Chain A
Amino acid sequence: MSPHTAQLQQQSSSTFPARPAGRPYTVLIAALGGEGGGVLAEWLVEVALRCGYYAQSTSIPGVAQRTGATTYYVEIHPEPLAVLGGRRPILSLAPAPGGVDLFIASELLEAVRYVANGLVSPDRSLVIASTSRTLTTAERMQMGDGRMDEAALVETLHRHSQRCIAFDIAAATRAAGTAPSAVMFGAIAASGLLPFAREEWERVVRESGRGVEASLRGFARAWDVVRAGGEPEAVAPPAAAAAPTGAIDGFPAEVQDMLVPGLARVQDYQDAAYGRLYLERVRQVLEAERRSDPAALNGYALTRETARFLALWMAFDDIVRVARLKCSASRFSRVRSEVKAGEGDLLRIVDLFKPGIPEIAGLLPPGLERRLVRWEARRRAAGKPPFGFSLHLSTTSVSGFLALRFLAGLRGLRRRGVRFGREQAMIEHWLTQIRNAAAQDWRCALEIALCGRLVKGYGSTNDRGRENLAHILDHLAAVAMPPEAKAEAVRKAREAALADEGGQALDRVLIGNGAPPRPVKAQPVVWLTRKAGSAAGR
C-alpha cells in the first residue's frame, strides 16, 4: 500500500466496489466548450504523475469554443510506477461502456446522455453530475415550454448508476468566481477514487499559475459537497404557493391563487370597472362549471384556468401597458441587478421599440383607424416595407422617461380604441364556447379554456395566436363528434399550434379531425422575372 493510499483511507468516506488487480482507474468527463475540460484533464494527469502513477488522457474536444459538448477521458494505472519495473501499461483511449469508475458532468442533460449511451454501469460507476442546465437550442426555441423535466433527469441518473452525487456545479463555480474545471477537479478529488492526498491535488492547482485562489475556493466547495454526499435538496417555494391575500368572496378557495392576482392585473391595467367585468366573466364560467361538475370532483380547475388566461387576455399587451411597466421604479432596480451594475456604476437603460401601424391604430377610434390601416395597406401593396418607428429610447434620461410616462398615461384612450373592442368580442366568443362546452362535457370545456394560452405576445405573434384560437373555436369545436373525442382533438390542436410557427402541425391535426385547415393568408409576393430558357449573360 502506498503512503497515499493509507492517507486516503483515513479521509475518504466513500465506497467504491472492490477492483480486480491491474484494472486502471477510469474517469470520464463531460463538459461544454469553454468550461476548461482540457485543463481539468491535464490536471488529472499531472496529479497522477506527481504521485508516481502512470496516467493517460484523451479528448474529443469537438468544436470546443463553440458551445458544443466535449468529452475528456483519463485512465490511471493502479500501481505506482516504482513497482512496474519499466513496463508500460496499455491504457485505452476511449471508455468502454460500463467501464467507467467515475463519470462527472457539468450539465445535467449531458450527464443523462452518457447514461443513455450505456457508458455508466449500475455496478461500478459513481456519477457526479451538476443539477444545472444549459438549455439546448431545441428546448429554447419552442413556442411553449420545451424544457426537459429536470427531476426526471436526476432520477434517471440515480437509477442507473452505482451511486450518484448531484449538485449545482454552475452555482459552485459562480460562488467561487472560478471555472467549472476547478470545481470538477475538487469533486473528483473528494470522490476518493484515486489514492492521492488532498494536498497533492491542491498543489497541482496552486502550481497552475492563474486564478489560483479562486480555483482553490471552487475546489474546496466541491470537496465539501461531495464528501457530504451531495447538497441538501434546495426547496424552492413554487411561486403560486404563496397564499393570496384578500380572498374574493363568492369563489371557491381552489381558484383564489389565480383569481386574486388576475383581478389585480386587470384593475391595474384599466380600472375598477374592468375588474368587475373580469369577476363577472369568471363567475359565469364558475356557474357553468358547477352545473357540469356539481361535486367539484375536478377542484374547479376549469374556473381556475379560465381565470388565469382571462386575466392575461383582458390585460392584453399594448403600447400603454409596456410603457407603464418600463418606467416603474421596481423595473429600474431589477435591471440594475440583472446587468450587475455596481454601487458607484452609472446605468443607462436603452429600450428598443418598434411600434408599427397596427399598434398605433389599435388605440384609435374606428374612423381614424380605418384611414390609417388603408394608408398602410396601400404602402404595402406598392411593395414598401411595413411602416414602423425604430426607437432607441433612453429611459434613464429625463426626456425618454417623460415620453414613456406620456404613453403610459394614454390608458383612457384604450377603451375607445378599436383593438379594445375587438379583444372583448373575441374574449366573449371564447368564454361562450367554454360555457357551452361545459354544458356537455367538463373536460372539453377545460381544453377550450386552456387554449387561452395561444393568445400572447405582440404584433404578428399575437395575430397568429388569436387566429389559431379562432380557427379552433369556429371549426374544430364546431365539428360534430363525441365530447371525449372533441376534448382530445382540441388538446392536440392546441399543442400543435405551439409546435411550429408555420402552422403545419396544426393543419395536420385540423384535417385529421375533419376540420378545414387554416386559410391561406394574403402576403405581398416578390416576383422574379426569370423565365425558363433565358440564360443570362453571355
Chain B
Amino acid sequence: MEVSFNKEVQQLRQGAGTTFHGEGILAITKALLQSGVAYVGGYQGAPVSHLLDVMVQAGDYLSELGVHVEACSNEASAAAMLGASIHYPLRGAVTWKSVVGTNVAADALSNLSSPGITGGALIVVGEDYGDGASVIQERTYAFALKSSMLLIDPRPDLQVMVRMVEEGFALSEAANTPAFLQLRIRACHVRGSFECKDNIAPAVSSRHLMEDPAAFDYGRLAHPPATFRHEKLKSAERLPAARRYIVEHGLNELFPGKREDLGLIVQGGIYNALIRALQQFGLADAFGDSELPILNLNVTYPLAPEQIADFCRDKRAVLVVEEGQPEFIEQEVAVILRRLGIDTALHGKDVLPMAGEYSVEAIAGGLAAFVGRHAPELPLAGGKQWLDDIVARREKVAAELAEPLPARPPGFCIGCPERPVFSAVKLAQQEVGKVHVAADIGCHAFATFEPFSMGHTILGYGMSLASRAGVSPMMKRRTLSVMGDGGFWHNGLLTGVESALFNGDDAVLLILKNGYTSATGTQEIISTPDDEVKAKAPNKHQSLVDRNVTIETTLRGIGVQWLKVVHSYRVEEMKKTLEEAFTTDFAGLKVIIAEGECQLERQRRVKPWIAGKLKRGERVERVKYGVDEDVCSGDHSCIRLSGCPTLTLKDSPDPLRVDPVATVIDGCVGCGLCGENAHAATLCPSFYRGEVVQNPRLGERLLARLRSAVIGLLQPA
C-alpha cells in the first residue's frame, strides 16, 4: 500500500516515562510490544486493520525486537498461527474483524482451545457491531462460550485497554487458554492517552531461535482420546484458574455507590455510555462517581461466581447492562444467584432493548425503568423528560420534512475501475435479460446500492460463486457471481472455483482484479503488482495489475478452460464478453477477469509524480471530462449508468429548460468512463474529453496557434 504510517511506527518505540497520545487500536498495538509478544498475525478488516498495517510497516523495528509479523491469507490462517503457543513459551497475538472473521477462524480456534496453550495467546477482535458496522450483527461472545475461551471487553480508556492486553497474556497463561480481546468500533478509534512502559524483547524470538522442537506429547493434539480429557480440563482446571486470576488481580472493577441496595453490572466496553446515561438523571458526576454501585466487567467470560454473588448478595435489585443478543451474561448471573439461593431481583433485557447498540439513549431508557421500579424516590423526572423530548423532536422533524431524507451509502471512489464493470453488467442485461447476481464482500458490494442496485445474495467473503450452486441448476438463464481479488484469495478459490470445477457447474464468475484488498484499506495480496514494477513504470497513471498474473495462472492450473481477461474500462468489450459468457455453448465454469488497478493506490502514485513534474517545469498532460450544458437534455441516464460522485447536476443555464443538466465537477480524474458509457450505451453527444497540456513544447504551441487561427476564421460565435 502507498499509505505511510511513519508517525505511528515512531510511537511504537516510545519508552517508559513518556505519554502516548493516539487512537485505541494503536495503543493496543503498543501494548502488545510492552507485553513481550513474539509473533503477530491477522487478517485486515475495519476497525482493526490499523494494527496489522502499522505492524507490517514497523518491520525494521520489530526485527530489532525479534517479533515476527505475518499478513495471513484469511482469519483461519491467522488463528492457526496461534498453534505456536501450544508447545512453546511464545506470546502470540492475532487480529481480525468479528463476528465474520471469527466465523472463518472457528475451526482453528476450537482446535487451539481444546489442547490449550503454554504461551499467552491473544485474539484482538474488532467487534463490528452497532453504528458504523458493516457486517451481520452477532456477538463474538458465543465463540468464547462454546470453546471455553476467555473474553476481555475493556473499559474504553487507553490506560485500561493497555493494562488489559498485558493482563490478558498473563491471564491466558494462568488458565492455559487463548483469550479474545474485543474492541468496539468507537473504542478502536478513540483518541486518548496512557503512560508508556518499555517494550519487552521476547526471550524466544526470531533473533533468539529455539534449538529443538518440543518433545512429542499426544496430550497436546486435538485428537481423540486426548480431546475427551481436554474437555474435562476446561471446566475442572482452566476456567477455575482464570476465575481466580480475574479476582486476585482485580481485572473487573467495583465502583461503589451510595445506594448499596441497588447495583449495575456492565460490560467494560459500554461503561462510558452507562455513565453518560446515569449523568442524564443526575445519578453520576463527571468522573463516574455514581449513586448506584457498578461492577464493571473488563472480562466478560468467564464470570467469577463468587464475585457476582458478593456484589449482588445484599442488594434488592441488580441490572445487567449487556449489549447484543442473546443475554449470555444475564443468564449466567441468574444461574449463579439461583444456585446460591440469593433472591436479589435481576433485570436486564426485560427493561433494555434485546437488539442493537447500547447507546446512551438506549441505556437511559432501561435505567429509567429499573430505577423507577426499585427506587422511585430518586429524581428521574429530568432524565425522563429528556428521553421524551428526543422522541418528540424526531417526530416533529419527520413531519416537517415532506419526504424521508435520501440515504448516503458509501460508493465507488471517483475513478474506481469497478464502476465501469457494473455499467457493462447493466448494459449486458439489457441484451440478454436479467440474471441472478450472487454478490460478495468487498468494494464491489457497493454495486448493491443505487444506481446499480445489483445483487441477490451476500453469503460471506469469497462465497459468491459457491452461493449460486443451488440457484444455477434451477434457472434457465445463467447466473453471475461477482468476486474481488481479495475474496478470491481469502476463500473464493477453494469454496467457489474448485467446487464449481469439480461438479462441472455451468456458472459465470466475474473477478474484479484491482490488485489489493481495497475495501479494508488497500492491503497487498499475492496478486498485487510488485513495488519494483511500480517504481519502474514510466507512466504512473497506468494500471499495473496486468503485471501480476497469479490469479490467471492459478485458474488455468486448477483447470479453468474458459477464461477472459478484459480491461475494466473497455465497457463495450466487457459488455460483449459478458454476453458471450451468458450465451456460449460452453457449459462449464466461465471466468472473466476485469482488470484495473485500485484508483486510490494509483492516485497516491500519480499525485507526487505530477507535482514533481510541474515543479520542474516539465510537460504534463491531464484529462478531465465535461458535459456541454446546451447539449445535455437533463435526462440523467448517464448518471444512472455511472453514479460517479463527480458526475452530478446543476441548474440548466437555458431559461427554457426545467430539468437540471449533468455536469462534471472538480475532482474528476479523467478515468474515461463517461466516454466509454456514452459510446457503449449510445447515450447522448454531450460528453467531451478535455486534454490539457501544461508546459507544452514549442512545436505543440506553434501547431496549436496555427490550428486556432484557421478555426477562428470559420467559427460561429
Check if B716 sits within 8 Å of A328, measured CB to CB: yes
**Alpha-carbon distance between A456 and B686 when the two chains are bound, in angstroms:** 13
**Alpha-carbon distance between A62 and B46 when the two chains are bound, in angstroms:** 9
**Alpha-carbon distance between A258 and B360 when the two chains are bound, in angstroms:** 57
**Alpha-carbon distance between A32 and B667 when the two chains are bound, in angstroms:** 14
**Alpha-carbon distance between A22 and B628 when the two chains are bound, in angstroms:** 58
Check if B449 sits within 8 Å of A137, measured CB to CB: yes
5 chain-A/chain-B pairs, Cβ below 8 angstroms: A66-B443, A93-B190, A94-B273, A325-B630, A344-B696
User: Chain B CB within 10 Å — which of A59, A122, A148, A335 has the most?
Assistant: A59
Number of A interface residues in the complex (CB < 8 A) = 138
Check if A135 sits within 8 Å of B649, measured CB to CB: yes
Check if A97 sits within 8 Å of B361, measured CB to CB: yes
Check if A98 sits within 8 Å of B476, measured CB to CB: no
**Alpha-carbon distance between A317 and B397 when the two chains are bound, in angstroms:** 44
**Alpha-carbon distance between A536 and B508 when the two chains are bound, in angstroms:** 14
> What 1/0 mask marks residues of chain B from 89 to 113 whose CB sits below 8 Å from any chain A CB?
0000000000000000000000000
Check if A98 sits within 8 Å of B633, measured CB to CB: no
Q: Which A residues lie within 8 Å of B683 (CB)?
A: 458-459
Given contacts A346-B701, A350-B675, 5 further A-B contacts (CB under 8 A): A87-B287, A94-B186, A141-B639, A143-B636, A145-B634
Check if A396 sits within 8 Å of B582, measured CB to CB: no
**Alpha-carbon distance between A12 and B311 when the two chains are bound, in angstroms:** 50
**Alpha-carbon distance between A470 and B693 when the two chains are bound, in angstroms:** 49
Q: Which A residues lie within 8 Å of B406 (CB)?
A: 109, 136, 138-139, 148
Q: Which A residues lie within 8 Å of B396 (CB)?
A: 160
A175 to chain B, nearest CB (A): 13
> What 1/0 mask marks residues of chain B from 656 to 697 whose CB sits below 8 Å from any chain A CB?
111110001010000000110011001111011111111110
B347 at the interface (CB under 8 A from A): no
> What 1/0 mask marks residues of chain A from 308 to 339 whose CB sits below 8 Å from any chain B CB?
10011000010000101111111110110011
Check if B450 sits within 8 Å of A137, measured CB to CB: yes
Check if B685 sits within 8 Å of A88, measured CB to CB: no
Q: Residue on B with the closest CB to A23?
A: B286
Check if A329 sits within 8 Å of B401, measured CB to CB: no
Q: Which A residues lie within 8 Å of B413 (CB)?
A: 65-67
B126 at the interface (CB under 8 A from A): no
User: Chain A CB within 10 Å — which of B503, B506, B691 has the most?
Assistant: B691
**Alpha-carbon distance between A160 and B390 when the two chains are bound, in angstroms:** 12
B637 at the interface (CB under 8 A from A): yes
A68 at the interface (CB under 8 A from B): yes
Q: Which of A439-494 contact B (CB under 8 A)?
A: 453, 456-461, 465
Q: Which B residues lie within 8 Å of A240 (CB)?
A: 655
Q: Which A residues lie within 8 Å of B131 (CB)?
A: 60, 94
> What 1/0 mask marks residues of chain B from 607 to 631 whose CB sits below 8 Å from any chain A CB?
0000000000000000010101111
Check if B286 sits within 8 Å of A136, measured CB to CB: no
A397 at the interface (CB under 8 A from B): yes
Q: Which B residues lie within 8 Å of A405 (CB)?
A: 714
Binds B, one of A110-118, A370-378, A422-430: A110-118
Check if B21 sits within 8 Å of A49, measured CB to CB: yes
Q: Residue on B with the closest CB to A307?
A: B656
A140 at the interface (CB under 8 A from B): yes
A214 to chain B, nearest CB (A): 14
Number of B interface residues in the complex (CB < 8 A) = 135
B87 at the interface (CB under 8 A from A): no
> What 1/0 mask marks residues of chain A from 257 to 278 whose CB sits below 8 Å from any chain B CB?
1100110010000000000000
B504 at the interface (CB under 8 A from A): yes
Q: A147-B649, A317-B631 are in contact. Are A347 and B682 (CB under 8 A)?
A: no
Binds A, one of B165-173, B236-244, B703-711: B703-711
Q: A335-B626, A346-B704, A528-B476 are in contact. Are A58 and B449 (CB under 8 A)?
A: no
Binds B, one of A197-205, A285-293, A351-359: A351-359
Which among B645, B658, B715 is the interface contact of A328 at CB below 8 angstroms?
Answer: B715
Q: Residue on A with the closest CB to B403?
A: A148
**Alpha-carbon distance between A386 and B432 when the two chains are bound, in angstroms:** 14
Q: Which of A515-538 contact B (CB under 8 A)?
A: 524-526, 528-530, 535-538
Q: Which A residues lie within 8 Å of B564 (CB)?
A: none
Which among A317, A386, A535 is the interface contact of B633 at CB below 8 angstroms?
Answer: A317
A299 to chain B, nearest CB (A): 17
Q: A77-B286, A348-B691 are in contact. Are A501 and B640 (CB under 8 A)?
A: yes
Check if A330 sits within 8 Å of B600, measured CB to CB: no
Which among B405, B692, B693 is the interface contact of A109 at CB below 8 angstroms?
Answer: B405
A248 at the interface (CB under 8 A from B): no
B120 to chain A, nearest CB (A): 27
Check if B288 sits within 8 Å of A90, measured CB to CB: yes
**Alpha-carbon distance between A530 and B408 when the two chains are bound, in angstroms:** 41
A156 at the interface (CB under 8 A from B): yes
Q: Which B residues lie within 8 Å of A396 (CB)?
A: 704, 707-708, 711
Check if B716 sits within 8 Å of A351, measured CB to CB: no
Q: Residue on A with the closest CB to B282?
A: A20
A142 at the interface (CB under 8 A from B): yes
Check if A135 sits within 8 Å of B648, measured CB to CB: yes
A24 to chain B, nearest CB (A): 7
Which among A87, A352, A356 is the interface contact of B675 at CB below 8 angstroms?
Answer: A352
Q: A88-B157, A139-B406, A324-B716 are in contact. Are A458 and B685 (CB under 8 A)?
A: yes
User: Chain B CB within 10 Å — which of A63, A258, A265, A528 has the most?
Assistant: A63
Q: A240-B655, A322-B631, A459-B682 are in contact. Are A66 and B446 (CB under 8 A)?
A: yes
Q: Which of A54-111 contact B (CB under 8 A)?
A: 56-63, 65-69, 77, 87-99, 109-110
B411 at the interface (CB under 8 A from A): yes
A305 to chain B, nearest CB (A): 9
B187 at the interface (CB under 8 A from A): yes
**Alpha-carbon distance between A379 and B702 when the two chains are bound, in angstroms:** 47
Which among B394, B451, B629 is the interface contact of A141 at CB below 8 angstroms?
Answer: B451
User: Chain B CB within 10 Å — which of A32, A77, A140, A349 has the most?
Assistant: A140
Check if B657 sits within 8 Å of A352, measured CB to CB: no
B379 at the interface (CB under 8 A from A): no
Q: Which B residues lie within 8 Å of A109 (CB)?
A: 405-406, 408
A55 to chain B, nearest CB (A): 8
B10 at the interface (CB under 8 A from A): no
**Alpha-carbon distance between A355 and B708 when the two chains are bound, in angstroms:** 26
A393 to chain B, nearest CB (A): 9
Which among B156, B476, B649, B658 is the interface contact of A453 at CB below 8 angstroms?
Answer: B658
Q: A113-B405, A138-B450, A536-B504 are in contact. Are A388 and B682 (CB under 8 A)?
A: yes
Check if B684 sits within 8 Å of A141, measured CB to CB: no
A341 at the interface (CB under 8 A from B): yes
**Alpha-carbon distance between A397 and B582 when the two chains are bound, in angstroms:** 42
B280 to chain A, nearest CB (A): 7
**Alpha-carbon distance between A91 and B400 when the two chains are bound, in angstroms:** 34
A134 at the interface (CB under 8 A from B): yes
B412 at the interface (CB under 8 A from A): yes
B542 at the interface (CB under 8 A from A): no
Q: Which B residues lie within 8 Å of A137 (CB)?
A: 411, 449-451, 639, 643
B398 at the interface (CB under 8 A from A): yes
**Alpha-carbon distance between A336 and B361 when the two chains are bound, in angstroms:** 54
Q: Which B residues lie within 8 Å of A412 (CB)?
A: none
Q: Residue on B with the closest CB to A336?
A: B690
Check if B716 sits within 8 Å of A90, measured CB to CB: no
B137 at the interface (CB under 8 A from A): no
Check if A90 sits within 8 Å of B275, measured CB to CB: yes
**Alpha-carbon distance between A354 and B444 when the two chains are bound, in angstroms:** 29
Check if B684 sits within 8 Å of A459, measured CB to CB: yes
Q: Which B residues lie within 8 Å of A461 (CB)?
A: 633, 635, 637, 684
A303 to chain B, nearest CB (A): 14
**Alpha-carbon distance between A134 and B647 when the two chains are bound, in angstroms:** 11
Q: A261-B655, A458-B685 are in contact. Are A345 and B410 (CB under 8 A)?
A: no
Check if A537 sits within 8 Å of B506, measured CB to CB: yes
Check if A239 sits within 8 Å of B640, measured CB to CB: no
Check if A96 sits within 8 Å of B688, measured CB to CB: no
Q: Which B residues lie within 8 Å of A355 (CB)?
A: 685
A168 at the interface (CB under 8 A from B): no
Q: Which of B48-97 contact A (CB under 8 A)?
A: none
A164 to chain B, nearest CB (A): 14
